[in-house]
A and B are shown apart, each in its own frame.
Chain A
């Protein structure tokens, strides 16, 4: 079974994000970039499927600038077989990404597409769903368990207050949630081997997709600063404050 995994280059999860002083965007100068954590989970799941003998080939695709090759190389070191970079310096919206992925899906004909449920930069949570709509493939979102069963895939989904398991006909799209697995580190010997794995570069034009923007970014503001704590004199005052000020009792 061929598995296609989509990975995005985003600001590192550990970085304290700063907003530009004119509030036009997040400041990305000299900021460490890394693979979106949910995409890491998707790669890990694909590698586990390969280790179980279910997946036969893992193709990893990233859409973004030339440097996004770094994230593809990471995925290759983790166990993917081959990479595709759809190179563009445009700032892409989910719909454009989904259209580009659709073109890649048509070319590669994977049985399973694994992707993150959302990226930690734009937080849209819609690319997987849009790809489902565009391709007509079945979709299982927020996956916390993925089990291939013949020509079906059973996806356990994390929903409010519980779990819900759905069976999808293959080919299908699965978007990953946090508890699906714990991604491994890329080992140094595998990183070196990954250098010899194929990585093809293509462009939106090559794929016959016109990317255009339908919205403009108006304003970015940082979260409000936390106020300093206070010291209470005794338990009675604590209870009083919890009741009357915090209103949690």
Chain B
């Protein structure tokens, strides 16, 4: 392998995508060299914007020939530094592959370029009288390619599952430069290994997703939102149980009073009630008939009588439903200014109560002087534990201290057979903890798989695998 000079690299890339689709200006290098994390300094050597699968393939072949490291970049809203280029890599950005084509009303599918924004797909579905259910606060910026790269979850997983459940077929370019059509959009296709699944959640380490056929479904009816005040952490899951045993929920989220205070301090979201409690649950369901509404009231009453809940509100309009959702959805963005250290951990739902108690013990013991923000998709057993950086503390020192405590947190995760990254992926920030969820043997198989698809290691090196 003969390494390319920077000039030769730009020339070769330009030959593939055209000179106007290769950028090396300082602005582009910092913007496209990082995701939502603030841990690593971006330092890519070029940003390239392919328009077709063939161009992506040619970039990969070039990378193989000259040993160039490639970083797939979507909307760069990732929370584990999966799309960060800190070591002179070439960033491959999919912004120009953002077409929606081949809508099929019978199959209820639509083909998306990897660069289609999540919200673009949601809006498109709505215009066809259908629904794309994967949703989260960054849907206005994240891309389908990135969602597939991380197997994004979000706020509706309890009812509609993860991104994986909506991918009917993929076009990928492997790290070797082969173009594969995976699953051909079939619902039933038992012909051996489903390679599609390896690229979902693969964080761009096996190859590029260039196109995806996504499934759509019927839109939900009259989504209604409850926010309940719950004084004791232990009782959050009792409330979940009470509701879930009688009705299908479309969301069950939780957040702490501290988290809500931060959102309310913005001044543009109304408070749900005058009283306060340590924790809140946000419950969403389809109120199709008056009976559904009645049932939710009865369940609320039961929770009230049991003493788990002290107050609650229910949306009377879509406007109110949207405003109640903001209490939960605006947390991530609101706390971003405190450079939060993010834990995205999960256990099976039945183990959540003792798990939360153990985690609570650790953070109260280890972080007496830090602000801790609890929230998460708790109905899926998924907790987002955020540690806020005190103003006076330097970033490096803060992250070093958090990393130390994380080892304790991860030990609890391992004890409960949980996941060190429920939906944000591993990237660079969670790599050191992978062994708490995956066995050495399992990781060896993952490495072997990587070697099959990407023998020269050009795809997103340094991510995911320790």
- Enumerate chain A interface residues (CB-CB to B < 8 A): 12-15, 30, 32, 34-35, 37, 74, 182, 184-189, 191-192
Minimum CB–CB distance from A48 to chain B (whole Å) comes to 13
- Chosen A-B contacts, 27 in total, with CB atoms closer than 8 Å, are A12-B318, A13-B319, A14-B321, A32-B222, A32-B318, A34-B319, A35-B317, A37-B319, A182-B270, A184-B270, A185-B272, A185-B320, A185-B324, A186-B313, A187-B273, A187-B312, A188-B226, A188-B228, A188-B297, A188-B300, A188-B304, A188-B311, A188-B312, A188-B313, A189-B304, A191-B314, A192-B301
**CB-based closest 4 A-B pairs:** A34-B317, A14-B318, A188-B312, A185-B313
Minimum CB–CB distance from B285 to chain A (whole Å) comes to 14
A14 touches B297 (CB 8 A): no
Could you tell me the distance between the alpha carbons of A89 and B300 in the complex, rounded to whole angstroms?
34
Given known contacts A182-B270, A185-B273, A12 and B313 CB-to-CB distance under 8 angstroms: no
Q: Does B322 contact A (CB under 8 A)?
A: yes
Q: Which residue of B lies closest to A14 (CB)?
A: B318
Q: Does B188 contact A (CB under 8 A)?
A: no
Q: Which residue of B lies closest to A182 (CB)?
A: B270
B312 touches A13 (CB 8 A): no
B318 touches A188 (CB 8 A): no
For B318, what are the chain A residues with a Cβ–Cβ distance below 8 Å? 12-15, 32, 34
Known: A12-B318, A34-B317, A182-B270. 6 other contacts (CB 8 A): A13-B317, A74-B316, A186-B313, A188-B228, A188-B297, A192-B301
For B272, what are the chain A residues with a Cβ–Cβ distance below 8 Å? 185
Q: Which residue of A lies closest to B223 (CB)?
A: A32
Which of B272-321 touch A at CB < 8 Å?
A: 272-273, 297, 300-301, 304, 311-321
Could you tell me the distance between the alpha carbons of A13 and B321 in the complex, rounded to whole angstroms?
12
Given known contacts A14-B322, A32-B222, A188 and B317 CB-to-CB distance under 8 angstroms: no
Could you tell me the distance between the alpha carbons of A32 and B220 in the complex, rounded to whole angstroms?
12
Minimum CB–CB distance from A47 to chain B (whole Å) comes to 13
Which of B218-264 touch A at CB < 8 Å?
A: 221-222, 226, 228
Minimum CB–CB distance from B280 to chain A (whole Å) comes to 13
Could you tell me the distance between the alpha carbons of A13 and B323 in the complex, rounded to whole angstroms?
12
For A15, what are the chain B residues with a Cβ–Cβ distance below 8 Å? 318
A14 touches B273 (CB 8 A): no
Q: Which residue of A lies closest to B298 (CB)?
A: A192
Minimum CB–CB distance from B324 to chain A (whole Å) comes to 8
Could you tell me the distance between the alpha carbons of A153 and B311 in the complex, rounded to whole angstroms?
35
For B319, what are the chain A residues with a Cβ–Cβ distance below 8 Å? 12-14, 34, 37
Given known contacts A13-B319, A30-B221, A34-B319, A186 and B304 CB-to-CB distance under 8 angstroms: no
Q: Give the residue among B221, B313, B315 with the most A Cβ atoms within 10 A.
A: B313
For A14, what are the chain B residues with a Cβ–Cβ distance below 8 Å? 317-319, 321-322
A186 touches B316 (CB 8 A): yes
Could you tell me the distance between the alpha carbons of A188 and B322 in the complex, rounded to whole angstroms?
18
Q: Which residue of A lies closest to B221 (CB)?
A: A30
A189 touches B317 (CB 8 A): no
Could you tell me the distance between the alpha carbons of A192 and B226 in the complex, rounded to whole angstroms?
14
Given known contacts A13-B317, A32-B317, A189 and B270 CB-to-CB distance under 8 angstroms: no
Minimum CB–CB distance from B165 to chain A (whole Å) comes to 26
Could you tell me the distance between the alpha carbons of A13 and B322 in the complex, rounded to whole angstroms?
11
Minimum CB–CB distance from B307 to chain A (whole Å) comes to 14
For A189, what are the chain B residues with a Cβ–Cβ distance below 8 Å? 304, 311-312
Q: Give the residue among B222, B273, B317 with the most A Cβ atoms within 10 A.
A: B317
Q: Which residue of A lies closest to B224 (CB)?
A: A32
Given known contacts A12-B319, A14-B322, A30-B221, A188 and B270 CB-to-CB distance under 8 angstroms: no
For A34, what are the chain B residues with a Cβ–Cβ distance below 8 Å? 316-319
For A188, what are the chain B residues with a Cβ–Cβ distance below 8 Å? 226, 228, 297, 300, 304, 311-314
Minimum CB–CB distance from A23 to chain B (whole Å) comes to 20
Minimum CB–CB distance from A73 to chain B (whole Å) comes to 9
